[in-house]
Amino acid sequence: MYQQASAFAAKAHQMQRRKITGEPYFSHPRNVANLLRKAGFREEVVAAGFLHDVVEDTPVTLDEIRALFGNDVAKLVESHTEDKSQTWEERKSHTIDAVRTGTLEEKAIIVADKLDNLQSIKYALSSEGNKVWGYFKRGYELQKWYNEGIVSNMYEGLRDEEIPAYFKEYERLCRWIFRK
């Protein structure tokens, strides 16, 4: 399933580029899936990590995901897919709520996604400085609100022993980037 999800996501995102680095977009879902795999999540969660943006950002549907990867993977992808008919603030509030109320696996995908995004921001800050915030529809203050909202809700309902190490890495990176 790992190879199938990787190949499917690579094809779905083949014409897309990361907004900050300009690298092929597929590097992002690959990084998310690798974080999940290294943390020991089951293959369905890793597959959902590869596929987490395909429904939101490409013509692929949840029905296609369900048919190819099963209901479990489709549900995980669906839990992470934003409703683009909503405003940015509504979508991000929904994600903050989802990370507060979600299962460990749902939270794991969200935090892995946000960690990889912040790692790209950190890289860009080192070369471009605060100009990096111009790449976003919402600038520094709202990015800070969003990421700090994820951090303050991601541990909700989890026992210490089940928290993946990369959650702490995300928290530290969030503090470093938004230290102002």
pLDDT of residue 103: 96
Catalytic residue, candidates 43, 44, 53, 57: 57
> Catalytic annotation on 56?
yes
pLDDT of residue 180: 54
The pair of three-digit structure tokens given for residue 36, joined into one six-digit string: 């999940």
> Catalytic annotation on 113?
no
Residue where the block lists tokens 């460990």:
104
CATH (residue range 2-177):
1.10.3210.10
Instruction: Convert the chain into a string of H (helix), E (strand) and C (coil).
Output: CHHHHHHHHHHHCCCCECCCCCCECCHHHHHHHHHHHHCCCCHHHHHHHHHCCHHHHCCCCHHHHHHHHCHHHHHHHHHHCCCCCCCHHHHHHHHHHHHHHCCHHHHHHHHHHHHHHHHHHHHHHHHHHHHHHHHCCCCHHHHHHHHHHHHHHCCCCCCHHHCCHHHHHHHHHHHHHCCC
pLDDT by residue for the chain (180 residues), tens only, comes to 989 999 999 999 999 888 777 888 899 999 999 999 999 999 999 999 999 999 999 999 999 999 999 999 999 999 989 888 999 999 999 999 999 999 999 999 999 999 999 999 998 888 888 888 888 888 899 999 999 999 999 999 999 999 999 999 999 999 999 985
24 backbone dihedrals φ, ψ, rounded to 5°: -55, 135
pLDDT of residue 23: 86
pLDDT of residue 129: 87
Catalytic residue, candidates 43, 44, 56, 141: 56
